Structure 1
């Protein structure tokens, strides 16, 4: 593996095609600057920022773009990262990582770590204090194990979906040591201090707690979330013994979702499912006229997002938090690793998912049958009400006899005096 910086037009073109493959073809994102005709994803910042890429022999397998300094950032981007709270530091001491892509067959390998480690070395050399990025829920665990911290509320990126903002305090050796980050050795080579880490703790109190939760001992995690993990609705974990649950949750990430946040959007690509540890969510779909139709709600112990995780299909509904929620994020990568390392866990969990999907399919079928029956009744009622009345002519007794083929005795003739 070799990590390089793209400087030639040919190198950059290959990067743009790799981005298109990942963001557009795989994830279905539609950035404004996408070039479908040439299958490339490029924007103006590519001309001024540093583009890294990884080569495996003759094949480009990963890339990212690093923005050194915040001087050229627009107001919207500065607000997204809450840079006003960092006003006492010069813009030159900030870094931002964007456009990260790793080919599917290289995910779960050391490629991502190697690429970001190279970026981290350059961040140190350029004297940066803080490095920012944002990621999808399935990557939270990866970034936190590198040393990044979720320092503010999640936000929705229109063309990409629900994102978690992440911050790396570049010289925070104590934190890197606590999470066993691969960045630690490099950090120690540059003689780190403690002032930036202390400032962060004062300015963003409590933000380290969410990452500390990720590194709880499994027994402590189980104790803390006993209500959710033991709830009757927690069908995902049925049949698993405590030791197996410990292995499962150690690979997940706990994410806080604020009331009103849209966690999933109908039609977008998905690579993770969610186990609700607390709170409530609502599920809606878009109707042909563009309005939102309510499907159902879910609470503690329930699972959502499992269809996209298992079937690799777009999200079938939009999920919005009714209250503040905490969810355990479970990824496709974890399922694959479990099938190799812990097949007994994977088999039981996939069986539980099969049961869950079967029950939900039955419920959906029952609702559709009920709706169809109601629709049929209404259609019949409307047909009866709208059927035109035929004005029948008044027949003489002889005409009535002929028309109905009845005998004269069945016809009442008026008396002669009438």
Structure 2
């Protein structure tokens, strides 16, 4: 893997062989690695494609002739957004301001594991953005797992709620108003120069941005620190939370939760899907969580400050169980490996206390599950 962007080429692909290579990359990462879309894949050709690909714009990044990254865009209008898509991305939130044909949906963005620390994802985003600017598209919507929100936010995407995906569980909706160049410039997005090429009136994009700012299902510490900490404290005092997470002091709690997210989840939302390779760690603030395995509920988590998802974080392996919110929903904090890395770098003693708490919590869970598994 190289971090030199000149070693890669990103472009809109019209070549049949190249598109086939992109579908093979999807198969390798979605079907083989994550066990997703198994019923939709072509197992003989080892490819993954669907009807959307027939009219979507497919983008690829190549390295030494090999496709190492891919993503696609497809536009609304002419009935191309089906009922599931309209609900997942809350398309009606925007259609009083713009036509569906002015909305593009980004999906199936993948990067080969050997190239994930390089510039591939940003090159894909840059090339896709250049295309939608040329097309005059007003808005791009997409989604991501909670632990990736900061990655997308640094490029200019705005979280605007949560979506319940039938295979991936709870995802964060993202929106990118193409004509609003102020936000990307203010955050120092590497994509800012592309936004400045927009030649149409910018008022619609600014109305879209104002609407996105009113979303409160996802509150990110990096985007609005004051609102984030207020949203945490209204459900659980910071002193209590710090104590529950390993007797942390104020600076240690700040280092741990910097760049994390507070999520307000509807009842029976899937936070963790068994077999997935996500690494998000969740801290319960209020409500309840249920752990399910093979159709059986094995645990109910109600204690504020309780942590779920630590096994995959430690092991790097696939998720072992499904975790859903309870009948009353839940408010949780979503942390990534970067949160733990930041705590280790800034507050070594705090990291030791937090890791000790996680280890004790995991040991207790294993003991309780073996002693009295709940039968439901």
What is the aligned partner in structure 2 of residue 356 from structure 1? 361
- Offset of 1:303 from its aligned partner? 0.8
What is the aligned partner in structure 2 of residue 112 from structure 1? 121
Q: Does 1:30 align with 2:33?
A: no
- Among 307, 332, 342, the residue aligned to 1:303: 307
What is the aligned partner in structure 2 of residue 316 from structure 1? 321
1:41 partner SS: coil
What is the aligned partner in structure 1 of residue 331 from structure 2? 326
TM-score (norm 2): 0.83
Distance 2:367 2:123 in 1: 47
**Stretch deviating more after TM superposition (203-212 or 317-326):** 203-212
**Stretch deviating more after TM superposition (199-208 or 73-82):** 199-208
- Offset of 1:18 from its aligned partner? 0.8
What is the aligned partner in structure 1 of residue 143 from structure 2? 134
Q: Does 1:56 align with 2:60?
A: no
- Which structure's CA Rg is the greater one? 1
CA contact (8 A) 1:275 1:327 kept: yes
Distance 2:135 2:119 in 1: 25
- Among 137, 143, 147, the residue aligned to 2:152: 143
Residues 118 and 346 (structure 1), Cα distance of their counterparts in 2 relative to 1, 3 Å cut = farther
Residues 45 and 111 (structure 1), Cα distance of their counterparts in 2 relative to 1, 3 Å cut = same
Q: Which has the higher contact order (CA 8 A, sep 6+)?
A: 2
Residues 245 and 96 (structure 1), Cα distance of their counterparts in 2 relative to 1, 3 Å cut = same
- Among 285, 308, 319, the residue aligned to 2:292: 285
Residues 245 and 367 (structure 1), Cα distance of their counterparts in 2 relative to 1, 3 Å cut = same
- Offset of 1:19 from its aligned partner? 0.7
CA contact (8 A) 1:270 1:315 kept: no
Distance 1:293 1:23 in 2: 27
- Among 102, 110, 125, the residue aligned to 1:93: 102
**Stretch deviating more after TM superposition (118-127 or 27-36):** 27-36
- Offset of 1:141 from its aligned partner? 2.1
Residues 279 and 133 (structure 1), Cα distance of their counterparts in 2 relative to 1, 3 Å cut = same
- Among 98, 117, 131, the residue aligned to 1:122: 131
Q: Does 1:258 align with 2:262?
A: no
CA contact (8 A) 1:17 1:41 kept: yes
CA contact (8 A) 1:17 1:40 kept: yes
Distance 2:130 2:314 in 1: 37
**Unaligned 5+ residue runs, structure 1?**
372-418
Residues 144 and 255 (structure 1), Cα distance of their counterparts in 2 relative to 1, 3 Å cut = farther
**Stretch deviating more after TM superposition (4-13 or 70-79):** 70-79
Distance 2:216 2:241 in 1: 32
**Could you say which structure has the higher helix fraction?**
1
- Offset of 1:78 from its aligned partner? 2.8
CA contact (8 A) 1:309 1:332 kept: yes
CA contact (8 A) 1:338 1:346 kept: yes
**Stretch deviating more after TM superposition (337-346 or 14-23):** 337-346
Cα RMSD between the aligned structures?
3.2
- Offset of 1:101 from its aligned partner? 0.4
What is the aligned partner in structure 1 of residue 112 from structure 2? 103
1:117 partner SS: helix
Summarize deviations over 1:193-250 as a string: whole Å, max 9, x none: 5422443266566227945643345x88557635454326864x42544334333322
Distance 1:77 1:224 in 2: 29
Distance 2:348 2:279 in 1: 20
TM-score (norm 1): 0.75
1:175 partner SS: helix
Distance 2:262 2:158 in 1: 13
Distance 2:11 2:352 in 1: 41
CA contact (8 A) 1:252 1:330 kept: yes
2:254 partner SS: helix
